[in-house]
């Protein structure tokens, strides 16, 4: 009689990469639906384009590196990277922006470092930062929320804008794009307008930017689901959000004229997607428990510093990459003590 040799741990493949990545994708669904609701179907076109390009780039690099294609392509990591970039860039970006960002993320930031598990930097954020540094104009003009737009972009117009740079009708690009709430907040604070007045403009909702606050809340709910399913640990998001909340709270207590409220910072820009989906990347983030707290707090602090004093409206991507660089140092100093070891 042939017996299967079964050895512990007796788990049903709980730690498989594919399973984790599918959970991550699932957790992003509500927020993506919210994005489509607020910014139109262009978001979905971007996601589809990014997925196709990301998978093709992954296959090409695996071929060049003579690695088996099927196990790596089905692990879903390239799909997660592609979708993160697609939701981070403005919805009506020209197609080549998506292609350049995703290809750079997969080819340079991931595969050239050795593929999944070896990349020191978060690939999606490297792709995003490349675009932000190289094409600042395209990357900082967002659609207004569809309820504020004079004529919302339908599927056909979005498709034309993304792939041909024009709608075919008499639309002008300037009438469909504008600054994000974070950008507007920063510019107007620079003109010495008090934040409490700025927040009453129609670009803003009950706490953050109109629409953006709901996208952030849905990302947070998706993130809490990931914590509940043990895909990510609570340390990074909690440390990051706490650091961002405390520093913006202190600033708005002592210098209310230079910052939006702490709640505004929590539900604006990429805060929640950054806290739950980007900073929690298991590969490029810290691996020790204490280290994750330090890493998260660092991301939160740097995000706030870049938002207030930096040259760009949002700072999540730069903060994550800067802290990625610190990870070896953080891990070195936060090694857990071996049980029973005497110092």
- Of the pair 133, 325, the CB lying nearest another protein is at 133
**What is the closest distance, in whole angstroms, from the C-beta atom of residue 318 to another protein in the complex?**
14
111-140 residues near another protein, rule: CB under 8 A: 130, 133-135
The 3-state secondary structure of the chain reads CCCCCCCCCCCCCCCCHHHHHHHHHHHHHHHHHHHHHHHCCHHHHHHHHHHHHHHHHHHHHHHHCCCCHHHHHCCCHHHHHHHHHHHHCCCCCCHHHHHHHHHHHHHHHHHCCCCCCCCCCCHHHHHHHHHHHHCHHHHHCECCCCCCCCCCCCHHHHHHHHHHCCCCCCCCHHHHCECCHHHHHHHHHHCCCCHHHHCCCCCECCCCECCHHHHHHHHHHHHHHHHHCCCCCCHHHHHHHHHHHHHHHHHHHHCHHHCCCHHHHHCCCCHHHHHHHHCCCCCCCCCCHHHHHHHHHHHHHHHHHHHHHCCCCCCHHHHHHHHHHHHHHHHHHCCCCCCCCCC
CA distances from 118 to 17, 100, 244, 284 (A): 14, 22, 29, 8
- Of the pair 119, 268, the CB lying nearest another protein is at 119
**What is the closest distance, in whole angstroms, from the C-beta atom of residue 97 to another protein in the complex?**
10
Listed residue (232, 305, 316) closest to 271, CA to CA: 316
10-49 residues near another protein, rule: CB under 8 A: none
**What is the closest distance, in whole angstroms, from the C-beta atom of residue 132 to another protein in the complex?**
10
**What is the closest distance, in whole angstroms, from the C-beta atom of residue 107 to another protein in the complex?**
11
- Of the pair 134, 175, the CB lying nearest another protein is at 134
- Of the pair 32, 125, the CB lying nearest another protein is at 125
**What is the closest distance, in whole angstroms, from the C-beta atom of residue 165 to another protein in the complex?**
11
Residue 228 in contact with residue 286, Cβ under 8 Å? no
**What is the closest distance, in whole angstroms, from the C-beta atom of residue 49 to another protein in the complex?**
18
Q: Is 108 in the site for another protein (CB under 8 A)?
A: yes
**What is the closest distance, in whole angstroms, from the C-beta atom of residue 130 to another protein in the complex?**
6
Q: x/- binding map, residues 138-157, to another protein, per CB under 8 A?
A: --------------------
- Of the pair 130, 203, the CB lying nearest another protein is at 130
- Of the pair 97, 182, the CB lying nearest another protein is at 97
- Of the pair 69, 133, the CB lying nearest another protein is at 133
**What is the closest distance, in whole angstroms, from the C-beta atom of residue 110 to another protein in the complex?**
14
CA distances from 9 to 15, 139, 282 (A): 11, 47, 21
Instruction: Please report how the helices 123-134 and 77-88 are oriented relative to each other, as an axis angle in degrees rounded to 10.
Output: 30
- Of the pair 37, 135, the CB lying nearest another protein is at 135
**What is the closest distance, in whole angstroms, from the C-beta atom of residue 326 to another protein in the complex?**
19
Q: x/- binding map, residues 71-100, to another protein, per CB under 8 A?
A: -----------------------------x
- Of the pair 128, 212, the CB lying nearest another protein is at 128
- Contacts to another protein by CB under 8 A: 100, 108, 130, 133-135
């Amino acid at each position: 009689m042939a017996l299967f040799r079964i050895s512990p741990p007796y788990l049903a493949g709980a730690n498989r990469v594919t399973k984790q990545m599918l959970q991550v994708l699932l957790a992003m669904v509500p927020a993506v639906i919210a994005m489509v609701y607020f910014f139109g179907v262009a978001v979905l076109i971007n996601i589809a384009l990014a997925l196709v390009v990301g998978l093709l780039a992954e296959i090409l690099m695996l071929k060049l590196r003579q690695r088996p294609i099927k196990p790596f392509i089905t692990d879903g990591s390239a799909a997660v990277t592609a979708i993160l970039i697609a939701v981070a860039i403005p919805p009506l970006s020209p197609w080549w922006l998506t292609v350049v960002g995703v290809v750079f993320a997969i080819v340079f930031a991931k595969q050239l470092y050795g593929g999944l598990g070896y990349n020191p930097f978060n690939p999606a954020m490297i792709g995003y930062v490349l675009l932000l540094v190289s094409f600042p104009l395209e990357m900082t003009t967002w659609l207004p929320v569809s309820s504020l737009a004079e004529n919302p972009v339908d599927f056909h117009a979005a498709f034309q804008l993304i792939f041909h740079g024009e709608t075919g009708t008499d639309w002008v690009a300037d009438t469909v794009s504008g600054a994000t709430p974070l950008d507007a907040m920063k510019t107007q604070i620079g003109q010495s307008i008090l934040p409490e007045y700025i927040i009453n403009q129609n670009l803003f909702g009950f706490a953050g930017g109109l629409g953006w606050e709901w996208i952030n809340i849905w990302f947070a709910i998706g993130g809490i689901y990931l914590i509940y399913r043990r895909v990510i640990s609570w340390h990074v998001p909690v440390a990051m959000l706490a650091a961002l909340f405390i520093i913006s709270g202190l600033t708005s207590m002592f210098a209310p004229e230079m910052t939006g409220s702490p709640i505004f910072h929590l539900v604006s820009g990429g805060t929640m997607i950054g806290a739950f989906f980007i900073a929690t990347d298991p590969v490029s983030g810290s691996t020790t428990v204490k280290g994750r707290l330090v890493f998260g707090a660092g991301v939160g602090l740097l995000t706030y510093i870049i938002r207030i004093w930096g040259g760009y409206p949002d700072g999540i991507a730069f903060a994550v990459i800067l802290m990625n660089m610190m990870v070896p140092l953080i891990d070195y100093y936060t090694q857990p003590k071996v049980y029973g070891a005497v110092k």
